[in-house]
Amino acid sequence: MITSGGQTMTQVNGLYVLENYGAFQGEGTLVGQPSYFIRFSGCSVGCKWCDTKYSWKSASGTMYNVNALLDVIEGSGYENIVFTGGEPFEQDATLLSQLAVNLTPEFFKQITWETSGTQPIPSGILQSRIPTLLSLAPKLLSAESNYPFPDLNPFLRAALEHPLLTAQIKFVLNVQDLKAMQQELAYIRNIIHRYDLVSTNVPIIYTPVTVFNRDPVIVRNQIAIDMERLNLWFQHNSLYQMGNYRILPQMHAMVYGSKKGI
């Protein structure tokens, strides 16, 4: 709870949560980790490949003040918390900062903030007392985003300067379009060089686009085919110099398809 001089602080504005649930982390370096997800509503990024387009509408879902949301998170019983969206950093930055600084090691072991990188980091996240992962998913050209490729420097600098902060970068590739994949991997090479990602050893995750179908079997088969295709492409083109990378599927898509609340 947030207190000031023994008095509970009141919130004029709120944080909009579309859904919250316990599940396992399906993406990135923490894949498989049991986690409690807070999905904020609102996103202006407009990625073509987004699997949660229902979260784009701003100020939808339930509005929480910071105290109430802390109660929900602490009451979940989970030690690993994932803030996702939508685009979480499109929420009120002051309230996100208050939320971040009031997450305590008494309850939690790992915090993840999933972001496209299009918005600044709320300052309170830089004061975290818990190991915190900045999970960056900058959009490539094929995503047809409403934003240009973001500046990753503030996020990478934060991860280097703050001992409890780390970063990972996730690239979603259209593996089924060979020409597009070639172009995007060439672009990613430039990104790796520009931000010196090899020497800083920032984990880079390559994931095939998940094209959802109501039949989970079709989704799973396509993901497996695309994973093999992407792996072979890296092998045949000697791309092992492209930093500390991993090729991973969206595990939640393989298990649950397009089902919400997972």
Please answer whether residues 27 and 251 qualify as being in contact, where contact means their C-beta atoms are separated by less than 8 angstroms.
yes
The architecture that CATH gives domain 12-256 is Alpha-Beta Barrel (3.20)
Reference 26, options 137, 175, 118, 120; nearest CA is 137
Reference 115, options 141, 93, 89; nearest CA is 89
Q: What is the pLDDT along the chain (262 residues), one digit of tens a residue?
A: 444 333 334 444 899 999 999 999 999 999 999 999 999 999 999 999 898 999 999 999 999 999 999 999 999 999 999 999 999 999 999 999 999 999 999 999 999 999 999 999 999 999 999 999 999 999 999 899 999 999 999 999 999 999 999 999 999 998 888 888 889 988 999 999 999 999 999 999 999 988 776 677 888 888 899 999 888 888 877 666 778 999 998 877 777 766 666 6
Question: Exposed, middle or buried by CB within 10 Å (0-12, 13-18, 19+), for 155?
Answer: buried
Residue 3: predicted pLDDT: 40
Task: Judge if the upstream peptide bond of residue 86 is cis by omega within 30 degrees of 0.
Answer: yes
Q: How far is it, in rounded angstroms, from Cα 256 to Cα 195?
A: 35
Please answer whether residues 101 and 128 qualify as being in contact, where contact means their C-beta atoms are separated by less than 8 angstroms.
yes
CB within 8 Å of 75: residues ≥ 6 apart:
none
Q: Where are the domains of the chain?
A: 12-256
Phi/psi region, residue 147 (left: phi>0; alpha: psi -120 to 50; beta: rest), is beta
Residue 257: predicted pLDDT: 67
